[in-house]
Amino acid sequence: MFIIILLFGLSCSSNAQTYGWYSVPGAPHLGRYDDINFIHDSIAWVGKRDTIYKTTDRGDNWSVVYAGNTGRFDFIRSIDFVNDTLGFAGCLAPPDSNHVFVSKDGGVSWSPIDSLIPGPLNGICGIDHKDNMIVGVGSVNFPPYVIISKDYGQTWTYQALDSLNGFLVDCFIIDSLNILISGSSTAATNTKGNILRSNDGGLTWNQVAISNFSSTYCWKIFMQDNGIGVAANEAFTQGLFFKTIDGGNTWQEYPLSGSTVVHAGGIAVINDTIMFTGNQQNVGMAYSTDGGIAWQNINVGHSVNRIYVFNDKTAIASGSTIYKYHPDSVLTSLPELDSPQHGFELRSNDNKHFILHVNLVHKTKLMVELFTMDGKYITQPINSFYSKGEYLFELPTSTLADGGYFIRIRTYENVAGVTFIKM
């Protein structure tokens, strides 16, 4: 049997500097911590699958506040606390599970609130709050929607956005009227990473940014009070990001020139010129000192998905563990400890019919999409939840014209790409 396998994603070179970043010795590890949320400079929470950790000393030490032994959560994707007691968590989970949870005791206990939301849910990837407003978006899996509360989560509205987007990943509240959300455009427009903006509190939405590249995801949004903001755009062929200098009204797309990071995830601006972004599939980050024109590799950080900035001297990031930044730090990063990864192989005997072999190391959502080599969307043959184990999927390739194609494979934990040539 002829086997073709190529998983996209490049690690940074081993001799790259860390530029003040180091992994925190007292932090949880061996997982994927997609979000980190500070209520002030000392107290924060992170989540991993079904466990929530808390710090009270700016991220130097962490303790479990929710042990996940009740099966309450499936996969924690986002977390946001309004104060030291009231918090919300968004989850990826099957449609018949719960997706939005509230805690009123600092994360010690959680209750589902899906019943308060007037619409079908398939996961919440991003949550943000400002004053009494909470906004959530979902998800990295179709369908896309926005949920909004203006009374600290007591009541909610639901708005489907499938006419504008195929997926939604993150959100950022500028004020009670102005909201940004990010994701990908529709399949009909080749799922290009994009940003939508509302100027009326979430009643209507307009696209303010869209990628020049097909099959990309606009992942995390970061905004400064001075109107400068950035948003990572996850791609297969090169690193990309959006930048705004007018408070998110207009955006320009730029490459991560000089860096090998392609799966950009967490991103942040330290000051007007220094920027960082993470490679959410591999070890390494990218670093710019000129406002995003030129970038260099940093050999620290694995699967960095959110970066929180305290000031121009201190930042913290969540990924496969917790990482901290100080430009004058003399600490070195600990060796990266990878969790077991799902396996994917594409097999064919005749280069016409292709079988995807999948080895899942634990329960997850599996989404497989087929594209032409220039990124035009063809079909999504797999989009469902699967338990741990090995699976064989026959892909709809027999009717395709001869030529090159690639398959995007996404789970809760990672994304991979497999290329093949039909002959």
**Average pLDDT of the residues in 205-210:** 98
pLDDT at 340 over 80: no
Distance from C-alpha of 22 to C-alpha of 414, rounded to nearest angstrom: 23
Distance from C-alpha of 414 to C-alpha of 140, rounded to nearest angstrom: 12
Element (H, E) at 134: strand 133-138
CA distances from 397 to 6, 154, 373 (A): 18, 49, 14
Which structure tokens are listed for 44?
């924060």
**Average pLDDT of the residues in 78-104:** 94
- CA torsion sign, 380 to 375 to 415 to 80? negative
Residue type, 167: F
**Average pLDDT of the residues in 225-240:** 91
Torsion of CA 157, 267, 223, 191, to 10 degrees: -50
Whole-angstrom Cα Rg for the chain: 20
pLDDT of residue 44: 96
Q: Between β-strands 126-130 and 111-112, what pairing exists: parallel, antiparallel or unpaired? A: unpaired
Least confident of 13-22, 248-257, 281-290, 362-371: 13-22
The b-or-e profile of 39-59 (16+ CB within 10 A means b, else e) is beeebbbbbbbbbbbbbeebb
Distance from C-alpha of 251 to C-alpha of 409, rounded to nearest angstrom: 28
**Average pLDDT of the residues in 110-134:** 95
Distance from C-alpha of 182 to C-alpha of 206, rounded to nearest angstrom: 12
Which structure tokens are listed for 309?
């900035």
**Average pLDDT of the residues in 196-216:** 96
pLDDT tens by residue, 127-159? 999 999 999 999 888 899 999 999 999 999 999
CA distances from 355 to 120, 258, 341 (A): 33, 36, 20
Which of 3-17, 170-184, 295-309 shows the highest mean pLDDT? 170-184
Which structure tokens are listed for 71?
């099966």
pLDDT at 14 over 50: no
pLDDT at 268 over 90: yes
Instruction: Specify the 3-state DSSP secondary structure of 24.
Output: coil
Which structure tokens are listed for 128?
């943000």
pLDDT of residue 412: 82
**Domains and their CATH numbers in the chain:** 10-325 (2.130.10.10), 343-422 (2.60.40.3080)
pLDDT at 13 over 70: no
CA distances from 166 to 79, 87, 376, 377, 384 (A): 23, 28, 14, 12, 16
Confidence category of residue 339, pLDDT binned at 50, 70, 90: low
**Average pLDDT of the residues in 354-378:** 89
pLDDT tens by residue, 50-89? 899 999 999 999 999 998 766 677 789 999 999 999 999 9
pLDDT of residue 6: 46
Please state whether the peptide bond connecting residue 143 to the residue before it is cis, i.e. omega within 30 degrees of 0: yes
Is this model's pTM higher than 0.95 or not?
no
**Average pLDDT of the residues in 338-360:** 87
